[in-house]
Structure 1
Amino acid sequence: MKVDSENHSLLGHLKSDRRYLAMLGLGFSAGIPYLLVYPTQSAWLSDAQVPIQTIGLMSELTIAYKLKFIWAPFLDKYDAPFFSAWLGRRRGWIVLSQIAVMASLIGVAFGDPANFLGYTVAFSLALGVAGATQDVTIDGWRITSVPVAKQSVMTAICEMGYRFGNLAAGAGALLLAERYGWPIAYGFMASLMLIGAVSAFIAPEPESDYTASRQHPGFVATVFAPIKEMVVRLGPLALPIFLMIAGFRLPGYISSAMAIPLFKSLNYSNADIATVTKLFGFGIALAATFSSAFIIRKIGLMPSLLLGTVAGSASHLSLAWLASQGGGDFWSFAVSVSIEGFAYAFAQVVLINYMSSITTTELAASQYALLTSLCAFPGSILAGSSGFIIAHTGFPMFFVFTSLIGIPVALLCWYVLRLHADVTPDPERHGSGPAKQTS
């Protein structure tokens, strides 16, 4: 079938199918909560003179994003109160989780961390749970709403929206707080969630929602059924695939924990860091996002995954080079960080496509949540040791070390590629369930 050339552009996709437009808005709302649970909020805590040890502990409030696989299966099997009867199972949960995010943001806005930190902790924890739940539900809708052949474009558009949401919750919230105060900043972020809510209403109901099972198995069966189904379906490849996913972002997690300390040690100003990581970084990440969609279509998913593994890990050498130079001019800084940022964003989008491809339609939300949690845990745990490693090796060798961590992951990816050269779309499937694989 001949496709009009306009449909190859972003505008063409958005005009041709309202699912893409809805995905852009849903991606935006997904990009807001996480930074406001901790990274952005840490600036508020610092302004409130909260002890640095306590601020560090507050980072654990993002734990819901690592544990979302526990309650994700129930979002596949149960309807959301009231909203699912109106909008369908997946969109019903999306809207309910967005309401919870907005309520939690307003709750944080009314807090006073300087004098009543417990209140802020409680609402931040609620925000983390609501935000993680929104991620699960949006991912479930993304995976089941379009055929596998369209997933690369759908993921790219989702990531673009997510980056805009991150920009709003990061730089946007900081600028609002600087001028109007933190309560106004958090309240405004709550209002921005309406973009995602409107998008959920215009998003079409996935085909799978029309035939969703209304059976409610017990707790153990609900939690373990997605794991069992995936292990049985993947067969002997299950273990290497799970190990590959667990290690895929390990170098990036460890490296990113020490990126800002590196920049500060090289005497780059906060303005330089903000300009390169937020403004340049935003454009670089968008370029990588759409490059990944193009490359996946050209060479296939598994070769793209191998390329992302190698590029993502090797890019840390640019930071090692920057550290070995002892700083330098602004453009050396910008180029080094841009190389690392592009490769990392490219690898991340390819991994999202791959993890989406190995889920099954009925259990899409729970299986994808399980895979993302598996991806996050090892790096999150080991990132805490990064400061101790640098104390013994210095920054240059540390970033060389994080590059080398990617070698076994690349070998695992190559092994999976040898056995299953590519994940190809099933023309009879309307979601992103177990893909047919060619040897």
Structure 2
Amino acid sequence: MHSAEKRSWGEAFVAFIHPRVITMLFLGLSAGIPILLIFSTLSIWLREAGVDRSTVTYFSWAALGYSFKFVWAPLIDRLPFPILHGLLGRRRSWLIIAQCCIIAAILWMGLTDPAENLTMMAFAAVALGFASATQDIVIDAYRIEAADADLQAMMSSAYIGGYRIGMIVAGAGALTIAGLFEAEGTYQHFAWTVAYGCMALAMCVGVITTLLVREPDAPKAESKYFHETSDYVRFLLMFAVTVIAFITANSYAGGLTDPLKAALTDGGMIKELSGFIAGTLKLGISVAVAILVAWLTTRVGLTPTGMVQETYISPVKDFIDRYGKTAIIILALIGVYRIADIVMGVMANVFYTDLGYTKEDIAFISKTFGLFMTIGGSFLGGLLSVRYGVVKILFLGALLSAITNILFAFMAQLGPNTEMFIVVIMADNLSGGLATAAFIAYLSGLTNISFTAMQYAIFSSIMTLFPKILAGFSGTVVDAVGYSWFFVGTAVIGIPVLWLVVLAGRLTEVKDTVRTETDPA
């Protein structure tokens, strides 16, 4: 595989201060703020408002847009936003719209009291999830198009660093602000309104960055179908009808899959596996209905077949045409690269608690100290990728991710030991940040500039799908074999990843994604 050629340490360090790299630090912060406002920060708010635990967990579904963003990513690639497209360009116009929608959704959440109107809060959270996922689509496309392959590792490192800083702002920052405006032990909606208002204000960092940077000079493939306003309206109508069909089918499919789940569970199958089978079938039915409706809209002339093919089929066909049979190896690598990290990570907080660590220990060592280690690891990954090439660091990241899981097994044998906890968190988060930076740079190099948003959205969805499915059985495995053997097992399943990295490196060549010059922001 071809990646950036080996460079001197001086050249590697200079990449840190490249204008495009600095830009990604601020855009990463903009991307990192919304996620916790849907998850942990919102969960604490809802509990304070008296919402029961089962209902609180349902709000995590508001972030499903992150997993299915490849569905509307092609629209971002193909459809110019009226008026703003001419003023800001293709990427910046969509980015500013997404950021404004995020700010509006955050303010909507802040002004809604979940104790009085939980349904409205749910709508606001879903709106935030959708707008945030859209911002991610555009930022990923912008990052790939804004600089050549030599800078992609540092661009991804800066993005990860900014993203983690954004999480600190939306996590510890929002909770601190809310705490300043309410008496301990009492719930006051005003305190959370102020906290979320400050988060909306923090999003202005991303808005200002978007307005100041230049639109990437990436060539856009000419479309055979999208020329008139009516073409865009017809395509959007088809998309809306298909989405409605998917949601409707998903709602009614439960009538078929729920009895199946109950029957499998009653037959002796563990509930996690029966739930997975029923859920997969439910998703399959919904997707099949959506595809059928999309096909029917083309048959009746609502949308020309060529439009659908150019938007959804061509990006996939392009990837297969470029890599041939090797595409299977690449997709397998993408699908399992983070498997050791994700499967272990699901049980991490439960493990710390079961081992006897206090909430304060976990908050400081795992969340705060660990977060800074991840940021350090991401920049180290970018630096080493520029110095030695992406593939070598991709291999190193996978190796370290597996090895550090063994440290958790030792930790399980020692019991609560603060010094060991610090060492393990430092090693785990440094290796995780390093591996993620190299992996994002690798994925960026796989995309074709004509289908940047769509192809990267597919890659980013695939990379967490299988590991998250497998992670759902983590609790069952721990109950069966204990923590030590569980962590050893997560290290073992990471070994095949090393072979896939070597194989993909030999069989593929990732070309420069956009340009050869390094222009200023």
With normalisation by structure 2, the TM-score equals 0.77
Q: For structure 1, which segment, 30-39 or 131-140, has the greater mean C-alpha deviation from structure 2 after superposition?
A: 30-39
1:218 alignment partner, SS class = helix
Q: How far apart are 1:430 and its partner, in Å?
A: 6.5
The residue type paired with residue 379 of structure 2 is F
d(CA) in 1 for partners of 2:331 and 2:380? 26
- From 176, 187, 193, the equivalent of 1:183 is 193
Q: For structure 1, which segment, 81-90 or 220-229, has the greater mean C-alpha deviation from structure 2 after superposition?
A: 220-229
What's 1:356 paired with?
444
d(CA) in 1 for partners of 2:511 and 2:380? 19
Q: How far apart are 1:68 and its partner, in Å?
A: 0.4
What's 2:361 paired with?
272
d(CA) in 2 for partners of 1:362 and 1:186? 38
Q: Percent identity?
A: 32
Q: Are the equivalent residues in 2 in contact too, given 1:18–1:203 (CA < 8 A)? A: no
Q: How far apart are 1:140 and its partner, in Å?
A: 0.5
d(CA) in 1 for partners of 2:22 and 2:10? 16
d(CA) in 2 for partners of 1:253 and 1:118? 32
Q: How far apart are 1:139 and its partner, in Å?
A: 0.8
2:317 corresponds to 1:308: no
2:222 corresponds to 1:213: yes
Cα distance change on mapping 1:5 and 1:220 into 2, 3 Å:
closer
Q: How does 1:226-375 map to 2 (within 5 A)?
A: 226-328=315-417, 330-375=418-463
The residue type paired with residue 287 of structure 1 is G
d(CA) in 1 for partners of 2:409 and 2:9? 42
Q: How far apart are 1:224 and its partner, in Å?
A: 2.1
d(CA) in 2 for partners of 1:81 and 1:383? 43
Q: Are the equivalent residues in 2 in contact too, given 1:98–1:193 (CA < 8 A)? A: yes
Q: For structure 1, which segment, 49-58 or 105-114, has the greater mean C-alpha deviation from structure 2 after superposition?
A: 49-58
Q: Are the equivalent residues in 1 in contact too, given 2:144–2:513 (CA < 8 A)? A: no
d(CA) in 1 for partners of 2:469 and 2:168? 26
2:324 alignment partner, SS class = helix
The residue type paired with residue 236 of structure 1 is K
d(CA) in 1 for partners of 2:502 and 2:424? 27
1:366 alignment partner, SS class = helix
Report Cα offsets for 1:350-400 as digits up to 9, x if no partner: 110000000011211111111000112112222222222212122222211
d(CA) in 2 for partners of 1:47 and 1:184? 16
What's 1:30 paired with?
31
d(CA) in 1 for partners of 2:407 and 2:8? 40
Q: How far apart are 1:314 and its partner, in Å?
A: 2.1
d(CA) in 1 for partners of 2:412 and 2:34? 32
d(CA) in 1 for partners of 2:513 and 2:84? 31
Report Cα offsets for 1:20-40 as digits up to 9, x if no partner: 332221111011111111132
2:181 corresponds to 1:93: no
Q: For structure 1, which segment, 270-279 or 213-222, has the greater mean C-alpha deviation from structure 2 after superposition?
A: 213-222
The residue type paired with residue 99 of structure 1 is C
2:112 corresponds to 1:111: yes
Cα distance change on mapping 1:345 and 1:195 into 2, 3 Å:
same
d(CA) in 1 for partners of 2:88 and 2:358? 49
1:207 alignment partner, SS class = coil
Q: How far apart are 1:286 and its partner, in Å?
A: 2.1
Report Cα offsets for 1:239-292 as digits up to 9, x if no partner: 111011111112222211111111111221222111112321232112211211
Cα distance change on mapping 1:39 and 1:213 into 2, 3 Å:
farther
Q: How far apart are 1:195 and its partner, in Å?
A: 0.4
Cα distance change on mapping 1:246 and 1:427 into 2, 3 Å:
closer
Q: Are the equivalent residues in 1 in contact too, given 2:447–2:513 (CA < 8 A)? A: no
- From 387, 412, 420, the equivalent of 2:475 is 387
d(CA) in 1 for partners of 2:82 and 2:491? 47
Q: For structure 1, which segment, 218-227 or 388-397, has the greater mean C-alpha deviation from structure 2 after superposition?
A: 218-227
Cα distance change on mapping 1:282 and 1:428 into 2, 3 Å:
closer
Q: How does 1:83-232 map to 2 (within 5 A)?
A: 83-180=84-181, 181-208=191-218, 211=220, 213=222, 215-216=225-226, 218-232=307-321
2:343 alignment partner, SS class = helix
What's 2:59 paired with?
58
2:466 corresponds to 1:378: yes
d(CA) in 1 for partners of 2:380 and 2:33? 24
What's 1:434 paired with?
none
The residue type paired with residue 146 of structure 1 is A
Q: How far apart are 1:212 and its partner, in Å?
A: 5.5
2:218 alignment partner, SS class = helix
d(CA) in 1 for partners of 2:147 and 2:373? 27
Q: Are the equivalent residues in 2 in contact too, given 1:316–1:400 (CA < 8 A)? A: yes
What's 1:436 paired with?
none
d(CA) in 2 for partners of 1:224 and 1:307? 34
Q: For structure 1, which segment, 69-78 or 288-297, has the greater mean C-alpha deviation from structure 2 after superposition?
A: 288-297
Residue ranges of structure 1 left out of the alignment (5+ in a row): 432-439
2:412 corresponds to 1:403: no
Q: Are the equivalent residues in 2 in contact too, given 1:263–1:273 (CA < 8 A)? A: yes
The residue type paired with residue 391 of structure 1 is D
d(CA) in 2 for partners of 1:426 and 1:384? 35
1:50 alignment partner, SS class = coil
Q: How far apart are 1:331 and its partner, in Å?
A: 1.8
Q: How far apart are 1:119 and its partner, in Å?
A: 1.3
Q: How far apart are 1:8 and its partner, in Å?
A: 5.2
d(CA) in 1 for partners of 2:339 and 2:373? 21
What's 1:77 paired with?
78
Q: For structure 1, which segment, 175-184 or 25-34, has the greater mean C-alpha deviation from structure 2 after superposition?
A: 175-184
Report Cα offsets for 1:166-225 as digits up to 9, x if no partner: 11112111212222322221111111111001101111111126x563652623531222
d(CA) in 2 for partners of 1:30 and 1:357? 21
Q: For structure 1, which segment, 355-364 or 315-324, has the greater mean C-alpha deviation from structure 2 after superposition?
A: 315-324
What's 1:435 paired with?
none
Q: How far apart are 1:347 and its partner, in Å?
A: 0.9
Cα distance change on mapping 1:295 and 1:207 into 2, 3 Å:
same
The residue type paired with residue 144 of structure 2 is I
Q: Are the equivalent residues in 1 in contact too, given 2:147–2:514 (CA < 8 A)? A: no
Residue ranges of structure 2 left out of the alignment (5+ in a row): 1-6, 182-190, 227-305
d(CA) in 2 for partners of 1:428 and 1:171? 39
Q: How far apart are 1:6 and its partner, in Å?
A: 7.9
Instruction: Name the count of aligned residue pairs.
Output: 423
d(CA) in 2 for partners of 1:169 and 1:121? 19
CA RMSD of aligned residues (A): 2.3
